Amino acid sequence: MSVEKGLEGVGTWLDDRFTGAKGVRYLLRKIFPDHWSFLLGEIALYSFIILLLTGTFLTFFFQPSMTDVVYHGTYHNLDGVHMSEAYASTLNISFDVRGGLLMRQIHHWAADLFVAAILAHMLRVFFTGAYRKPREVNWLIGITLFTLALLEGLFGYSLPDDLLSGAGLRITEGVLQSIPVVGTYLAFFLFGGPYPGHVIIPRLYILHVLLIPGLLLALITAHLFIMTFQKHTQMPGKGRTNANVVGAPAYPYFAAKTGAFFFFTFGAVALASAFAQINPIWLYGPNNPVGISAGSQPDFYMGFLEGALRMMPAWQWVVFGHTFAFNVFIPALVPLGLIMTGAALWPFIEQWVTGDRREHHLNDRPRNAPTRTAIGMTTVAFYGVLWIEGANDVIADHFDIPLYTTTWIARFAIFLVPWATYVITKRICLGLQRMDLRTLDHGVETGIIRQLPTGEFVEVTEPPSDEERVVLEARPDYPALPAGGESAEGVPAPGMRGAVGRLRERAYKVVTESVPLEDAHANGHGDGHAIEGNGHGNGHGDGHGDGHAPAAVPSGGTEGEHPGSEGSPGQGEEH
Amino acid sequence: MTDSNVHGQHPEPEGPGAPHRVIGTPSPAESRSMLAPAPEEEHPPARELPPAPDDEHANNAAKLVAACFILAMLAGLGFIACYFIFNDHSLSAVTRDNLALGTTMALAFLLLGAGATIWVRHVMPKVEIAEDRHPLRSSDEARAEFAETFKEGADASGFVKRPLIRRSLIAATVPVALAPIVLLRDLGPLPYKSLDSTVWRKGMRLIVYGTNRPITPAEFNTPGSMITIAPEGFQNDFDAMAKAAVIIIKMAPGQLQPPTRMNWTVNDIVAYSKICTHVGCPAALYEQTTHHILCPCHQSTFDATRGAKVLFGPATRPLPQLPITTNAQGYLVAQSDFREPVGPSFWERS
C-alpha cells in the first residue's frame, strides 16, 4: 500500500530529523468531543483565516495615503472628483481589479462573521462554565482577542476613507477628546494634529495589517495551544466524566469534519458576498468633514457604542476651568468596560464565592447553573438594549415611532430589561430543572393512553434512557462553605469573618441556587403520570439554618425557598 | 500496554506485519516505523454507537462524495473561466462579475464541504474513543525539584543576596522601558489653544460650500432655507473646515428670539457652527417647519430660532453662533471668529 511507502519514505526521513512519531501520533489521536456549540470557535478561526487571505490580496492594490488625487476611473459618477488616494484605490479595487470587489466583500463579510462568531463562542464558553479552572487564562486570552477584533474592525472600515468611515473617525476623535486630562493629547497624537490631518489612514493601515493581526495571530496560537494541552471540555453524557475526554480522534474524523466546516464557512461568506452587497463605498463618496448622510450605521459590532452615545443624557460639568464631558466618555467607556471587566473577573469571583478550586472538564448545562446563566443573559440584554438603541433612527423610521420616544424607552430599558432578564432567566432555569427532575422521577411521556381496570385513563411513560439519565443528573456540586458564624463550633472559619464573610455567604446562596437533585430521588415517588404543572413536591421546608452538611446538600442552600419545592409530596399515583 | 480500542470498528486479526492494520487497532509490536503503539490511556467509550456503514451504503455514499468533488472542480473551473471571460470594466459589468465569481467560488467551497461531510458521516466508520485525563498540576516531587533548581539559580546569580546588582538593574530598566513611550511624543503636535479658535476672521466672506461663491442677503431670501458655508479661502482645507464649517439659515421676520444674538445676524439670517457639540459630526439636517437642526450621528437636536439651544439628545451646549454682517459690497462676512470653541467638549475647554 502506498500509505506505508509514504510513511517509510517521508515519515522516516522526517522522524530521523525531528523525532515526530510519538508527538504527531498523539496529535493525530487527539480527541475532539462532539457538540454543535463547539463549532462556534471554529467559525471564528476560519473567518480569521479568510480575513488573512483576502486581506493580503487587498494590500496588493490598496494605497494607504491621504494625498489628494482627482479620480478618472471606471466609476464615472465620481469622475473629476477630488479624493484621497486611499479612497481612489478602493474604487480601483472595486471596479478595475478583477475579483477585487468580491475580495473586498468577502473581507468585510468575514470580518462581521469573525466578531459574531467570537461573541457566540464566548457566550457558549460562559453559559457552559467552560471558563472554569484550568481554563481561566484561555478565557482571558479570548476576551483580549474579542477586544482586539473590535479595534481591528473599527480601523479596517475606516481605511477606505469614504464619507461613512470619515464620520466614524470623527466620532473616534470626539470620544478621545472627551477623556479627562489626556483626551486632547490622545486625539492629537492619533491624528497627528487636528482631525482629519494627513496621517490617520496610513497609521490605521499599519495597525490594521501588521500590529493587530500579529497580536491576534499570536494570541490565537496561544489559545489553540492551551486548548490542545489542556484538552477539550465536554458536555455531560454517558461515560463522560470529569476525568476523561470522549470523542472522535483528530485523524481522520475530526480533520475531515473540520475541513468540511472550513469549506462551509468560506462558501457561506462567498455566497453572501456574491448576493448581498456590503459597504458600497462608491455610493457614499469621498470623506469630507462637512458632509454626512442620514441613517449612517457602523458595522454591527460597533452599534452598541453608538447606542450608548445616543441614549446618554446631556451631562457635563465644568470645574475649575476644566470640562468633564460625562455625556461622551461615560457611554464610550463604561458599557464596554463593564462587560469586559466583568467577564474577565467572573471566573475568579465565582471561584471565591463557591470556594471551588477544582479542575472542571465536564461542562454544565446552562439551566444547571441558574445564577451564572442569568448573569450571562443580563449581559446579553444590556448589550442588546445598547445595540438596538444604536439603530433607533432606523427603528423609528420603520415602525413610525417618534425618534425621541425610542431614546426615552432605551434610557429606562437599559436598567429595566437587564433586571427583568435576570429574574426571568433564573425562573426559566429553575423551571427547566424541575422539568428534568420530573422526567427523572416520572419518566418520559410516550403519548400512549391506557385505561386502568378501574376505568381511569393514564398516560404510559417510559423511564429515561441511560444516556438521558446521565445528562439530566449531571449537576455541578459545589463544595460546602467553610463553617459560617453560626456554625456549631461558634468560630467562623478563616475567610468567612466580618462583612466580607457575610457577603460571601450571601453570594454563595445566590450563585449555587438550584432545585436540589438528591431529595427528589430520596422521595422516590416514581409514578408514570405526572399531572401537568403540579411541580413535584418534595416537601422540604425543614432543616434549614442548622448549617449545611456537605454530604447532604451539595447542590445549594436554598431549600424551602422555591414555591415549587414546597408542595405536598406525592402528587401523582403510586403504581 | 494496548488497552486501547476503537468502538464501532472491527479490528482485523493481528498479523506479523503492520500493513493491513486499521488505524487505532493494537500495534503488533514495538515497531521502528511510524506506526507506533497506542498510548495507554484510551478506552472504549460507554456509549453505544451505530454500527459502521455497510459496504453497499458506503459505496453509494462514496459515489455521492465523488460527485460533490467533481462538481466542486467544475465550479472552480467556472470561477477561472469567469475571471478571464468577463474583462470589461463598467458599473454593470462589475455587478455581473461579482455575481459570477462569487457564485462559482461559493459553489466550489460548499460542494467541497458537502462532499467531505458525506464522506465522514457515511463512508467512515463511527468512532468514539475515551482518554483519561490527569490533573494538570505537576507531581510534588517535580515541583520540589523545580523549586530547588530555581532557588539554586537564584542563589548562584546572587540576585537575592546582592541587592546592589538587583536594584541597579531595576533602576536601569525603568528609563529603558520608558524610552519607547517617549519616542511616541512626536506622533502629533500638542493641542495648545488650537481647539479654541477657527480660521474665521473679521471681514472674511462667507462662501457657499460647493459653488465656492460669496453670497449676499438678497440672494438668500427664502425663509426656511439652509446652506453650508465655508470661510473664504479654506473651502478645500479639510483641517480648517473640520472646525470652521457653518450653516446659515434664513428665518421669517420675528422668528429669531433670544438667546440668539440679534446683532450677530443680518436680515434674519443666522449663522451657526455646523460641527455638533457632542462628538463633532456635521449637524446637517434642518427641518423647516420646526426650525430644528438635527445631528444624524447621535440625534442631538438644536433650536435654530433660539440660539441653537439643545432640545434633545446627548449634546450639552448650543451650536456656537458666528457673528456675521455685510461688507461694503453687500456680501455676508464674519464680524470675527466664533466667540467660543466649536465642536465637542474637551478637557481644557472652560
CA distance B2 to chain A (A): 14
Task: List all residues 6 or more positions away from A296 whose beta carbon is below 8 Å from its beta carbon.
Answer: A164, A167, B296, B297
Residue of B nearest to A78 (CA): B91
| Preceding peptide of A196 cis, ω within 30° | yes
Over residues A29-37, mean pLDDT: 90
Per-residue pLDDT for B50 more than 80?
A: no
Residue B261 CA from chain centroid, whole number: 43
Which of these, A88, A101, A80, lies nearest to A62 by C-alpha position?
A88
Within 8 A of B124 by CB-CB distance, chain A residues are: 252-253, 256
Bridge partners, residue A453, by sequence: none
Best interface-test mutation with A: which of B22, B41, B98 has the largest number of A CBs within 10 A?
B98
Task: List all residues 6 or more positions away from A265 whose beta carbon is below 8 Å from its beta carbon.
Answer: A42, A43, A46, A47, A50, A113
Within 8 A of B122 by CB-CB distance, chain A residues are: none
Over residues A33-39, mean pLDDT: 91
Q: Do A270 and B106 touch (CB under 8 A)?
A: yes
| Preceding peptide of A402 cis, ω within 30° | no
CA distance A353 to chain B (A): 23
CA distance B3 to chain A (A): 15
Using only the alpha carbons of chain A, give its radius of gyration.
Answer: 29
Provide CATH code, domain B199-334: 2.102.10.10
Q: Residue A489's pLDDT is what?
A: 56
The model's confidence at residue A127, banded by pLDDT at 50, 70 and 90, is very high
Total residue count of chain B as it appears in this document: 350
Q: What is the pLDDT of residues A138-197, one digit of tens each?
A: 999 999 999 999 999 999 999 999 998 999 999 999 999 999 999 999 999 999 999 999
Q: Residue A565's pLDDT is what?
A: 37
The model's confidence at residue A519, banded by pLDDT at 50, 70 and 90, is low
Best interface-test mutation with A: which of B94, B95, B235 has the largest number of A CBs within 10 A?
B94
Within 8 A of B209 by CB-CB distance, chain A residues are: 290
Q: What is the pLDDT of residues B251-294, one digit of tens each?
A: 988 888 888 999 999 989 999 999 999 999 999 889 888 999 99
Q: Do B347 and A309 touch (CB under 8 A)?
A: no
A557 to A541, A543, A544, A550: CA distances (angstroms): 12, 11, 8, 10
Per-residue pLDDT for A536 more than 60?
A: no
CA distance B165 to chain A (A): 33
Per-residue pLDDT for A285 more than 60?
A: yes
Residue of A nearest to B21 (CA): A4
Q: Residue B54's pLDDT is what?
A: 83
Using only the alpha carbons of chain B, give its radius of gyration.
Answer: 39
Residue of A nearest to B75 (CA): A267
- Grid cell of B150 as nine digits: 530555581
Q: Do B102 and A310 touch (CB under 8 A)?
A: no
Percent of chain A with pLDDT over 70: 87
Q: Do B314 and A82 touch (CB under 8 A)?
A: no
The model's confidence at residue A320, banded by pLDDT at 50, 70 and 90, is confident
Task: Write out chain B in H/E/C secondary structure.
Answer: CCCCCCCCCCCCCCCCCCCCCCCCCCCCCCCCCCCCCCCCCEECCCCCCCCCCCHHHHHHHHHHHHHHHHHHHHHHHHHHHHHHHCCCCCHHHHHHHHHHHHHHHHHHHHHHHHHHHHHHHHHCCCCCEEEECCCCCCCHHHHHHHHHHHHHHHHHHCCCCCHHHHHHHHHHHHHHHHHHHHHHHHHCCCCCCHHHCCCCCCCCEEEECCCCCECCCCCCCCCCCEEEEEECCCCCCHHHHHHHCEEEEECCCCCCCCCCCHHHCECCEEEEECECCCCCCECCEEECCCCEEECCCCCCEEECCCCCEEEECCCCCCCCECCEEECCCCCEEECCCCCCCCCCCCCCCC
The model's confidence at residue A53, banded by pLDDT at 50, 70 and 90, is very high
- What are the extents of the domains in chain A? 1-32, 33-235+247-286+293-364
Q: Which of A495-504, B156-165, B204-213 has the lowest mean pLDDT?
A: A495-504
Among A460-474, A529-543, B107-121, the range of highest mean pLDDT:
B107-121
Per-residue pLDDT for A488 more than 60?
A: no
Q: Residue B165's pLDDT is what?
A: 92
Percent of chain B with pLDDT over 90: 58
Rounded CA gap, B81 and B85, in Å? 6
Best interface-test mutation with A: which of B207, B238, B300 has the largest number of A CBs within 10 A?
B238
Per-residue pLDDT for B89 more than 70?
A: yes
Q: Residue A297's pLDDT is what?
A: 80
Within 8 A of B101 by CB-CB distance, chain A residues are: 98-99, 102, 274
Q: How many CA atoms lie within 13 A of A337 on its CB side?
A: 6
Q: How many CA atoms lie within 13 A of B117 on its CB side?
A: 11
Which of these, A522, A552, A553, A550, lies nearest to A537 by C-alpha position?
A522
Q: What is the pLDDT of residues A77-114, one digit of tens each?
A: 999 999 999 999 999 999 999 999 999 999 999 999 99
Q: What is the pLDDT of residues B185-240, one digit of tens each?
A: 999 999 888 899 999 999 899 999 988 899 999 888 888 889 999 999 998 899 99
- Grid cell of B305 as nine digits: 430660532
Which residue of B114, B128, B274 is in closest CB contact with A246?
A: B128
- Grid cell of B10 as nine digits: 472491527
CA distance A126 to chain B (A): 22
Q: Residue A158's pLDDT is what?
A: 93
Q: Residue A340's pLDDT is what?
A: 95
Task: Give the three-state DSSP class for A248.
Answer: strand
Q: Do A185 and B190 touch (CB under 8 A)?
A: yes
Within 8 A of A275 by CB-CB distance, chain B residues are: 99, 102-103
Q: Residue A272's pLDDT is what?
A: 96
Q: Do A98 and B188 touch (CB under 8 A)?
A: no
CATH superfamily of A33-235+247-286+293-364: Cytochrome Bc1 Complex; Chain C (1.20.810.10)
The model's confidence at residue A444, banded by pLDDT at 50, 70 and 90, is confident
Q: Residue B115's pLDDT is what?
A: 96
Over residues A227-255, mean pLDDT: 90
> What does A301-322 look like in DSSP terms, one character per residue?
GGHHHHHHHHHS----EEETTE
Over residues A380-392, mean pLDDT: 94
Q: Residue A479's pLDDT is what?
A: 87
pTM, full prediction: 0.87
Q: Residue A442's pLDDT is what?
A: 85
ipTM of this complex: 0.84
Best interface-test mutation with A: which of B97, B124, B187 has the largest number of A CBs within 10 A?
B187
The model's confidence at residue B44, banded by pLDDT at 50, 70 and 90, is low
Which of these, B14, B123, B117, B42, lies nearest to A29 by C-alpha position?
B42
Q: Residue A543's pLDDT is what?
A: 37
Q: Do B280 and A174 touch (CB under 8 A)?
A: yes
Number of CB pairs, chain A paired with chain B, less than 8 A apart: 322
Per-residue pLDDT for B9 more than 50?
A: no
Over residues A461-484, mean pLDDT: 84
- Grid cell of A281 as nine digits: 463605498
Greatest CA span in chain A, whole angstroms? 94
Instruction: Identify which has the larger pLDDT, A34 or A490.
Output: A34
Within 8 A of A310 by CB-CB distance, chain B residues are: 298-299, 313-314
Which residue of A180, A252, A327 is in closest CB contact with B347?
A: A180
- Grid cell of B80 as nine digits: 477561472
Per-residue pLDDT for A7 more than 60?
A: yes
CA distance B215 to chain A (A): 19
Within 8 A of B242 by CB-CB distance, chain A residues are: 170, 194-196, 289
Helix A136-158 / helix A326-354 crossing angle, nearest 10 deg: 160
Residue owning grid cell 489559545: A223
Per-residue pLDDT for A316 more than 80?
A: yes
What is the residue-averaged pLDDT of chain B? 85
CA distance B91 to chain A (A): 7
Q: Residue A482's pLDDT is what?
A: 73
Rounded CA gap, A559 and A543, in Å? 9
Residue of B nearest to A133 (CA): B136
Per-residue pLDDT for A568 more than 60?
A: no
CA distance B28 to chain A (A): 15
CA distance A567 to chain B (A): 37
The model's confidence at residue A460, banded by pLDDT at 50, 70 and 90, is confident
Q: Residue A148's pLDDT is what?
A: 96
Rounded CA gap, B94 and B100, in Å? 10
Q: Residue A542's pLDDT is what?
A: 39
- Grid cell of A356 as nine digits: 471551588
- What are the extents of the domains in chain B? 55-130, 140-186, 199-334
Best interface-test mutation with B: which of A177, A182, A278 has the largest number of B CBs within 10 A?
A177
